[in-house]
Amino acid sequence: MTGKIAPAELIKNLGGRYASALGIDLAAPDAGERFKWLLAAMLYGTRISESLATRTWHEFAARDVLTPERIVKTGWDMLVIILDAGGYVRYDYKTASKLLEVCGALIRDYGGSLDVLHDVASDPRDLEERLKALGKGIGDTTVAIFLRELRGIWDKADPPLSPLALTAAIELGYLRRGTKNPERALSNLHKAWATSGQPADGFADFESALVREGLRLRHLAIRQRASKS
């Protein structure tokens, strides 16, 4: 299926990788760029609005607290202040503790480098488990957000297709209605992307655009249910 709109046009209209919108270059040689995105993914992975998570990440960036070493050095009290400044008040104490735990483990076990973690992982599933083993601050949702945007950059980044992306892909005509198998859906979306003449390493931009549309559809459905109640 070709979809109602070309994938490149969808990205132009909705935006691609969330990391790119934050000014993070995931393909850069510097492993620190991948850590910046992990920090963002941990913020996005909590039950908080996208806008507040984005604002909070920018608070970390403004203070140059964007490496595991700087986070550990900053300490719990100051991390809470940064989180509160971004509007992350509801989860400030818990998130500060999670960040310290994850960064401490990353430094201790992988020299502070996510690229090292990726390289020692035996396969995509082991990569996911190693990320989750860094601490309680990294669960399935955070891992999926983090690895989705590294698809095509890290060889072992191959998370399942997001349910949000699946819903959007069906509504936009890239997948047939009734499609339920995430693996087959992901394969078909890869084919749609390639058929449109786009480079393989840009697929994550397409996937992220679909997630954005999936979020829009979910919010619309919530408003419609609320209006009927």
In this prediction, residue 93 carries a pLDDT of 95
HSE of 225 in the Cβ direction (CA atoms, 13 Å)?
A: 6
Q: Give backbone dihedrals phi and psi of 151, rounded to 5 degrees, phi first.
A: -60, 130
Note every long-range contact of 24-27, with CB atoms under 8 Å and residues 24 or more positions apart, other chains counting: 26/149, 26/150, 26/153, 27/153, 27/201
105-122 pLDDT tens trace: 999 999 999 999 999 999
109, amino acid identity: D
Q: Is the dihedral of CA 49, 99, 138, 210 positive or negative?
A: positive
128-149 pLDDT tens trace: 999 999 998 899 999 999 999 9
Q: Could you give the domains of the chain? A: 7-17+161-228 (no CATH), 24-148 (1.10.340.30)
Q: At 151, is the secondary structure helix, strand, or coil?
A: strand
